[in-house]
Amino acid sequence: MNTNQSQFTRAMMDASIPVPEGLLDAQNRPAGRRFDVYRNNVAVSLTDAMHAAFPVIAKLLGKENMDGLSGLYLRAHPPSSPLMMFYGEHFPDFLAAMEQLSHLGYLPDVARLELALRRSYHAADSVPVGPEKLAQLSPDALMQTEVKFAPSMQVIASPWPIFDIWRYNTQDGAAKPDAVAQDVMITRPEFDPAPHLLPPGGAAFIVALQRGQNIGSAHEAALAKTPEFDLGATFTLLLQGGVILKLDTKG
Amino acid sequence: MLDTTFPQSDLPATAGVGYKPQHFSQILEQPGSVAWLEIHAENYMGDGGRPLAQLRRLSEQFPISVHGVGLSIGGEAPLDTDHLARLKQLIEWLNPASFSEHLAWSTHDAHFYNDLLPLPYTNDSLIRICDHIDQLQRTIGRQMLLENPSSYLAFEESTWSEPEFLTEIANRTGCGLLLDVNNVFVSASNLDFSPQGYIDAFALNRVGEIHLGGHDTDTDDHGAPLLIDSHGHAIADPVWALLNYTLERSGPKPVLVEWDNDVPDWPVLSDEANRAASALHKIPA
């Protein structure tokens, strides 16, 4: 009896499917629970990977719920590459689609924040420009300037207080979250990514810049969404965070 | 058949350990008898950040062995060319002393299962594996070492013994072999064969590296012990004895201690490396 890898993986991922018949023990008896070693290795290693990747989600849901969700997730979205550092990329959308979790509407965005932290951790190294580069520009030239950001910078816009939720669950003595919308920017000064709360409209401004708009039109885009958008405060954060690699003044 | 144009695996015949980031500073400051390090290739395939910075620093002081866990050489499907390209890039950047992978598969239908899965030893699988190893060695431009797996079950369709199968692959492709003596011990217990007999049948002249690790003990449906290759404990005494048995026959080889789960503090892992170094000292050079 031959056993192909399709039969093997189907039975490995679904314990209700019988162990393939061509798998034996040393006495030529059916492999039985010896096959469970593989079922168990896959489930445990991928569940551990989810706990390591989403510690705040795991804390918010509790270990048992996180184990259960990880089991559902690994069957819905088995890893698509051997790079486990990126496993879980569909988890935010997976959480958003879970009806049982719809009363915890902030979970998907908190998961996005945790994914972004991991992406930042593994992003390419880069050297930021100093603040003097900005000081050299006249106000008019500044508005004509395009910005290139560090690959380790990540931005998440959310209608939920995701920065406060993240901080409350990772730092002792942090304030309880208030019911406010929060945009977050992740910077990586050397090797350790850190989330920062952006002023309202900050994410829209940065996303416009990432799309290649100059500072003037990104400013307008941010103001259109958020009339109280504070360009100076946002730019100070960008400079302090060391996320600007290049300022390119056109015209 | 043997392609000698590939640069051979070139680790020192001393003790090494599997590198864990929590040991970074202590390895640099108190390496003890640890003379080289092994990393899992897939953990260093990001674009930058701490993992690559630490690896760059370690490689200034230690020969590095790159050990792949995700290429799926034993897979029925063609190798993932994206992953081959990532391996090539890592190896060109790092220029490690050795590259090794497993006689196993982990990817099927574009899904990666994060475990080393078993395969039957048949003429069909032999041809496929040799094709994959040829493709890999051509891509990275060097010899690879192929590691024997730990087995929990057997395939009814197998027509080759594992040592003969590995020898044939080495003869056809020119690859070297990585002999994991814990895997031999685990498989011998689980499939009821003599671990010493396995070593006697193994092509020891093709071995470029030896692995040691800890295992767990469970039971099968009939109450028989079922050993699990967990890398979560100290190395068991009979596995040390099997290492001595092997080294007496093979002569000095690079010996690696693997401890991947419930990773201990550095002094504990360093002691295991000392024990491996002592085993190497005991044999005539």
Domain assignment present for B111: yes
What pLDDT does residue A129 have? 92
What is the span of the domain harbouring residue A224? 119-251
- pLDDT mean over A117-140: 92
Residue B98 and residue B66 in contact, taking contact as beta carbons nearer than 8 Å: yes
Question: Looking at the predicted structure, is the pLDDT value of residue B167 above 80?
Answer: yes
Cβ–Cβ below 8 Å for A32 and B107: no
Which residues 4-63 in chain B show a CB within 8 A of chain A? 42-43, 45-53
- B4 pLDDT band (50/70/90 cuts)? low
What pLDDT does residue B1 have? 47
Domain assignment present for B86: yes
Q: To probe the interface with B, which of A35, A51, A83 has the most B CB atoms within 10 Å? A: A83
Question: Looking at the predicted structure, is the pLDDT value of residue B138 above 80?
Answer: yes
Question: Looking at the predicted structure, is the pLDDT value of residue B21 above 70?
Answer: yes
What is the span of the domain harbouring residue B20? 15-282
Q: What is the CATH number of the domain that holds B71?
A: 3.20.20.150
- A38 pLDDT band (50/70/90 cuts)? very high
Q: To probe the interface with A, which of B87, B112, B121 has the most A CB atoms within 10 Å? A: B112
Strand blocks (E) in chain A: 23-24, 145-149, 154-158, 182-187, 194-198, 244-249
Only one residue has tokens 């190896």, namely: B91
Domain assignment present for A28: no
Distance from CA of B113 to the nearest CA of A (A): 6
CA distances from A33 to A27, A39, B187, B230, B248 (A): 15, 10, 16, 17, 37
Domain assignment present for B88: yes
CA distances from A167 to A92, A113, A157, A163, B218 (A): 19, 11, 16, 6, 41
Q: Which of A78, A79, A122 sits opposite B46 (nearest CB)?
A: A122
- B284 pLDDT band (50/70/90 cuts)? confident
Lowest mean pLDDT among A92-101, A130-139, B155-164, B266-275: A130-139
Domain assignment present for A61: no
% of chain B surpassing 70 pLDDT:
98
What pLDDT does residue A131 have? 81
Average pLDDT, chain B: 96
Distance from CA of A51 to the nearest CA of B (A): 15
B248-271: string of b/e by CB count within 10 Å (b at 16+)? eebeebbbbbbbeeebbebeebbe
Domain assignment present for B244: yes
> What tokens does B258 get?
């693997």
Q: Residue A86's closest chain B neighbor by CA? A: B46
Domain assignment present for A85: no
- A164 pLDDT band (50/70/90 cuts)? very high
Instruction: Provide the domain count of chain A.
Output: 1
Instruction: Provide the domain count of chain B.
Output: 1
Domain assignment present for A88: no
Q: Which of A12, A24, A188 sits opposite B153 (nearest CB)?
A: A24
- B283 pLDDT band (50/70/90 cuts)? confident
Residue A206's Cβ-side half-sphere holds a number of Cα atoms within 13 Å equal to 27
Q: Which of B47, B118, B226 sits opposite A124 (nearest CB)?
A: B47
Domain assignment present for B10: no
Domain assignment present for B213: yes
What pLDDT does residue B8 have? 87
CA distances from A80 to A51, A71, A112, B45, B76 (A): 18, 16, 19, 15, 17
Could you read off the pLDDT of B84-126 as tens digits, one per residue? 999 999 999 999 999 999 999 999 999 999 999 999 999 999 9
% of chain A surpassing 90 pLDDT:
94
Quote the radius of gyration of chain B (alpha carbons, Å).
18
